[in-house]
């Protein structure tokens, strides 16, 4: 898409953090925004703040894992804003700090439901809008943790890797339909993620000390508004991979090197 003015963007996980940063950035370039989240109270405050700054905004209560909730969201956005042209699947939870032995079946299922099936649900419900509008763009939030399986983060890394693969497949599949696809892979961003994810781990919603690794999203230096502007830039320039932390490039290079060594061994074996 080369122009976002007047276009409707539907953004999940937009009550705060990166989702709200993306909503602000779309509004800044004249986009009309539907902000969706499971946390209705914080969502209402954030939507009011966006409206005060002059944005055309609609707040949509949504649990990304609940298909009836998606049906109601589609209806509400159609009635208030019309067809969606930009879909941002951003809602997610983190299992940062949980080693595999601590990951119960309940935690695993819930993380897959929110971080991966939630993205499927978004595309399934709004792809018809993008087609009917004659084109559009889909952004899904993964993570640098999706490019590399990290210790004490296995369900998160697994689901975020799947979001990258899903986005790559959709990018190839939808290119001829005028629908762009991007996957956002941030490093640490200051947000409430450590807090909004505590229920997943069965922990009470209390403060954690800043040096607690599970609280890293509370102390990271990059701010969500910066990520939001990067996303708008990525959509306008039709980038498949939207990165925010260029200093983390070495992670990917290290992984590529390990994969290369695997192929070298396969070559030596077959030769
Ligand atoms: N903060 C970081 O360092 C970081 C880094 C890489 C990726 N991410 C990803 O960015 C995305 C946004 O996270 P954030 O850091 O802004 O945290 P955040 O907690 O501020 O935002 C996540 C939002 O998702 C909402 N949410 C959770 N479950 C939901 C559900 N079932 N249905 C609808 N909404 C739901 C939460 O209420 C919350 O508002 C997530 O997908 C996260 O994995 C964050």
Q: Determine contact, residues 53/29, Cβ cutoff 8 Å.
A: no
Q: Is the CB of 15 under 6 A from ligand 1?
A: yes
- Convert the pLDDT of each residue in 70-104 to its tens digit: 999 999 999 999 999 999 999 999 998 899 999 99
Residue 1 within any structural domain of the chain:
no
* Ligand 1: residue whose CA is nearest its atom 31: 63
Residue 203 within any structural domain of the chain:
yes
* Ligand 1: residue whose CA is nearest its atom 18: 193
Residue 2 within any structural domain of the chain:
no
Q: Is the CB of 181 under 6 A from ligand 1?
A: no
The atom of ligand 1 lying closest to the CA of 115 is 41
Residue 85 within any structural domain of the chain:
yes
Q: Is the CB of 180 under 6 A from ligand 1?
A: no
Q: How many domains, in total, are found in the chain?
A: 1
Residue 187 within any structural domain of the chain:
yes
pLDDT of amino acid 203: 72
Residue 122 structural domain: 8-270
Residue 3 within any structural domain of the chain:
no
Rounded percentage of the chain residues whose pLDDT exceeds 90? 88
Q: Name the band, by pLDDT with cuts 50, 70 and 90, for residue 215.
A: low
pLDDT of amino acid 198: 83
The atom of ligand 1 lying closest to the CA of 194 is 19
Query: Distance, CA 160 to ligand 1 centroid (Å)?
Result: 12
CA dihedral over 40, 44, 50, 51, signed as positive or negative: positive
Query: Both tokens of residue 249?
Result: 């490039």
pLDDT of amino acid 218: 79
Catalytic residues, by residue number, are: 156
Query: Distance, CA 115 to ligand 1 centroid (Å)?
Result: 9
Residue 146 within any structural domain of the chain:
yes
Q: 185, 19, 6: which is closest to 89 by C-alpha?
A: 19
Report the CATH number at residue 138.
3.40.50.720
Residue 148 within any structural domain of the chain:
yes
- Convert the pLDDT of each residue in 156-204 to its tens digit: 999 999 999 999 999 999 999 999 999 999 999 999 998 889 888 877 6
Q: Is the CB of 189 under 6 A from ligand 1?
A: yes
Q: At what angle do helices 154-174 and 118-132 cross, to 10 degrees?
A: 20
The atom of ligand 1 lying closest to the CA of 91 is 24
């Amino acid at each position: 898409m080369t122009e976002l003015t007047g276009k409707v963007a539907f953004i999940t996980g937009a009550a705060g953090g990166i989702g709200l940063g993306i909503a602000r950035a779309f509004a800044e370039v004249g986009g009309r925004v539907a902000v969706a989240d499971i946390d209705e109270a914080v969502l209402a405050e954030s939507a009011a703040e966006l409206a005060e700054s002059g944005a055309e905004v609609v707040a949509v209560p949504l649990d990304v894992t609940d298909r009836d909730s998606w049906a109601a969201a589609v209806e509400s956005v159609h009635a208030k804003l019309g067809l969606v042209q930009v879909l941002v699947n951003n809602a997610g939870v983190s299992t940062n700090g949980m080693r595999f032995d601590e990951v119960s079946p309940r935690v695993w299922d819930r993380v897959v439901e929110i971080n991966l099936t939630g993205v499927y649900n978004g595309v399934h419900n709004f792809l018809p809008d993008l087609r009917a509008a004659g084109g559009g763009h889909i952004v899904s939030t993964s993570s640098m943790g999706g490019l590399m399986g990290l210790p004490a983060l296995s369900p998160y890394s697994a689901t975020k890797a799947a979001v990258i693969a899903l986005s790559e497949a959709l990018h190839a599949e939808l290119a001829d339909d005028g629908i762009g696809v991007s996957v956002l892979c941030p490093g640490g961003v200051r947000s409430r993620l450590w807090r909004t994810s505590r229920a997943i781990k069965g922990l009470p919603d209390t403060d954690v000390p800043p040096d607690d690794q599970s609280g890293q999203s509370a102390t990271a230096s990059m701010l969500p508004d910066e990520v939001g502007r990067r996303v708008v830039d990525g959509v306008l320039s039709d980038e498949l991979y939207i990165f925010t932390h260029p200093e983390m490039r070495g992670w990917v290079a290290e992984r590529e090197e390990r994969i290369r060594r695997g192929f070298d061994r396969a070559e030596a074996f077959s030769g």
